[in-house]
């Protein structure tokens, strides 16, 4: 794979950044649209979530929406490396993420950090997510962010 065209690189990174914007705004329908033909997996957690409705539902049932209608977070995606196979209409991307949060009860702080391993496909000239694998590497105080207990869901090592 290689860097591909500027247009492909831009389209792919824009998808990645749209996800960050959608989750911060608690726009779970948009997240479902972004991953409509994709799957999401999490390192250390069982199962795969696939398709628009299942993925939107996952985010609705796991994220705490605050009075302002958002998650009161900023998902920052950095160190994006994209490898594109223009001829095969496929691409891979790796990136880091840090989630910051600030609420009435929680001062501004990083609450989660990790990596994304993404796959993309192009159909009809448009790039789409094909998969996202999430690797959580550091978890802080997520009490004002998640409606689930991450430790209870992790697979035993």
Asked whether 90 and 119 are in contact (CB, 8 A), the reply is yes
Determine the pLDDT at residue 154. 74
Q: Which domain holds residue 147?
A: 6-152
Helix ranges restricted to H, the chain: 6-24, 28-34, 52-62, 150-153
pLDDT recorded at residue 2 = 81
CA distance 135 to 116: 6
Is the residue at 98 inside a domain?
A: yes
The reply to whether 100 falls in a domain is yes
Asked if the structure places residue 41 within a domain, the reply is yes
**Domain containing residue 11: CATH number:** 3.10.450.50
| CA pair distance 132, 74, nearest whole angstrom | 19
Residue 144's Cβ-side half-sphere holds a number of Cα atoms within 13 Å equal to 20
Number of domains in the chain: 1
In a domain, 157, yes or no: no
In a domain, 43, yes or no: yes
For position 157, what pLDDT does the model report?
A: 60
pTM: 0.94
Residue 1 domain-assigned (yes or no) = no
Walk along the chain (157 residues) and give the pLDDT tens digit of each residue: 587 999 999 999 999 999 999 999 999 999 999 999 999 999 998 899 999 999 999 999 999 999 999 999 999 999 999 999 999 999 999 999 999 999 999 999 999 999 999 999 999 999 999 999 999 999 999 999 999 987 777 766 6
pLDDT at 151: 77
Does the residue 107 lie in any domain? Answer: yes
């Amino acid at each position: 794979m290689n860097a591909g065209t500027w247009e492909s690189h831009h389209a792919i990174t824009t998808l990645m950044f749209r996800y960050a914007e959608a989750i911060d705004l608690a726009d779970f329908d948009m997240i479902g649209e972004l991953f409509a033909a994709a799957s999401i997996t999490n390192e250390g957690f069982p199962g795969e979530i696939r398709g628009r409705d299942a993925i939107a539902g996952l985010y609705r049932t796991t994220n705490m929406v605050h009075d302002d209608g958002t998650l009161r977070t900023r998902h920052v995606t950095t160190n994006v490396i994209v490898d594109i196979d223009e001829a095969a209409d496929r691409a891979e991307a790796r990136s880091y993420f840090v989630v910051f949060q600030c609420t009435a009860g929680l001062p501004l702080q990083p609450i989660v950090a990790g990596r994304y391993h993404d796959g993309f496909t192009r159909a009809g000239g448009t790039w789409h997510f094909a998969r996202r694998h999430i690797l959580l590497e550091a978890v802080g105080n997520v009490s004002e962010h998640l409606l689930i207990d991450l430790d209870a869901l992790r697979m035993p090592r």
